[in-house]
Amino acid sequence: MLDIEGDLTYRFSIGGTTQRHSIGPTGRVRQLWNVGWQELREMVAVLNDGSYLKATAPATFLSVTATTPAVTGEVYSEIDWPLSAVGVYGVRVLTGTRWYPLKRIPWAAYQDYQYEGFLETIRSTRGPIAYIPRLIPSGVGSVETVGKIMILPVPVSGSFRLWYLEAWAPLTADTDVFPGHAEFIEWNLHNTLIKMLSPDGNSGDQYQMWKDALERCRDRIETRARRLDSGTSSEPRDARGDGMDPDLWGEPGRF
How do the domains of the chain map onto residue ranges?
Answer: 2-50+169-228, 62-157
Residue 253 has pLDDT above 50, yes or no: no
What's residue 245's pLDDT? 46
Structure confidence by residue, pLDDT tens digits, 59-69: 999 999 999 99
Burial label for 88, CB within 10 Å (0-12, 13-18, 19+), is: buried
For residues 114-124, average pLDDT: 56
Strands (DSSP E) contained in the chain are 53-55, 59-60, 77-81, 85-95, 98-101, 103-104, 130-135, 138-140, 143-145, 147-152, 159-166
What's residue 15's pLDDT? 59
What's residue 233's pLDDT? 45
Residue 143 has pLDDT above 80, yes or no: yes
Residues 6+ apart with CB under 8 A from 241: none
Is the preceding omega at residue 101 within 30 degrees of 0, hence cis?
A: no
Is 34 within 8 Å of 172 (Cβ atoms)? Answer: yes
User: What pTM does this model have?
Assistant: 0.74
What's residue 96's pLDDT? 82
Q: Specify the higher pLDDT residue, 230 or 33.
A: 33
Q: Specify the higher pLDDT residue, 107 or 141.
A: 107
Rg (CA), the chain: 24
